[in-house]
Amino acid sequence: MATGTASFKIILGSKSLARRNILTEMGYEFTIMTADIDEKGIRKEKPEELVMALAEAKADAIIARLQTAGYQEKDAEPTLLITADTVVVFEGKVREKPSSKEEARRFIKGYSGGNAATVGSVIVTNLKTGTRKGAWDKAEVYFHDIPDEVIDNLIEEGLVLNVAGGLILEHPLTLPFVEAVVGFAFLCR
């Protein structure tokens, strides 16, 4: 449904520029709210469990914030809350947002000529009914060699410091060095 025909409101519970762009390109109007949670305080053994737990925690935090602010769902127009999370798995270890330029550089150099996996989740909560559905997906990403100059430019630009594993596949500097993406999705609830 494009803008003007939707019979619901959308709250995007994410700082992600990519997620904002997806909804915008689809023609949806939405409000952005971010969750103030300690992501490092939430740990799970499997990356799939971690991204689901983080997206759930974000949804719970935003719902609590809305309730504190006196938000009430109007009968005529339900609101959908969309929360999500992504991690990168490299050599069996979960990578979240890099903590420094040096760590981001180390992350990206590691992907050069090799592969990594992205594991992402999306949770959609109907604030009127309380119904919540979610899923996770995993994609293996194979890279050509990434030149140091490209890595330097990505680091200096700074966007890679704000994303899981310092990895933005769709970035114009990164995309030419993506050899293949092989993925699947799994419905969790």
Q: Is the pLDDT of residue 185 over 60?
A: no
Q: Spelled out in words, what is the top-level CATH class assigned to the domain 9-183?
A: alpha beta
Residues with Cβ within 8 Å of residue 126, at least 6 apart in sequence: 78, 79, 80, 132
**Which helix (H) or strand (E) element contains residue 187?**
strand 178-187
Q: Is the pLDDT of residue 188 over 80?
A: no
Residue 3 banded pLDDT, cuts 50, 70, 90? very low
Residue 31 banded pLDDT, cuts 50, 70, 90? very high
pLDDT of residue 1: 43
Q: 85, 137, 145, 152: which one is catalytic?
A: 85
pLDDT digits (tens, 9 = 90+) for 128-148: 999 999 999 999 999 999 999
- Average pLDDT of span 72-99: 87
pLDDT of residue 40: 85
Instruction: Write down the domain spans for the chain.
Output: 9-183
Answer yes or no: are the C-beta atoms of 98 and 107 closer than 8 Å: yes
pLDDT of residue 189: 52
What pTM does this model have?
A: 0.86
Q: Is the pLDDT of residue 41 over 50?
A: yes
pLDDT of residue 17: 85
Q: Is the pLDDT of residue 96 over 90?
A: no
pLDDT of residue 161: 95
Is 85 one of the annotated active-site residues of the chain?
A: yes
pLDDT digits (tens, 9 = 90+) for 103-132: 999 999 999 999 999 999 999 999 999 999
Return the half-sphere exposure (C-beta side, CA atoms, 13 A cut-off) of residue 133: 5
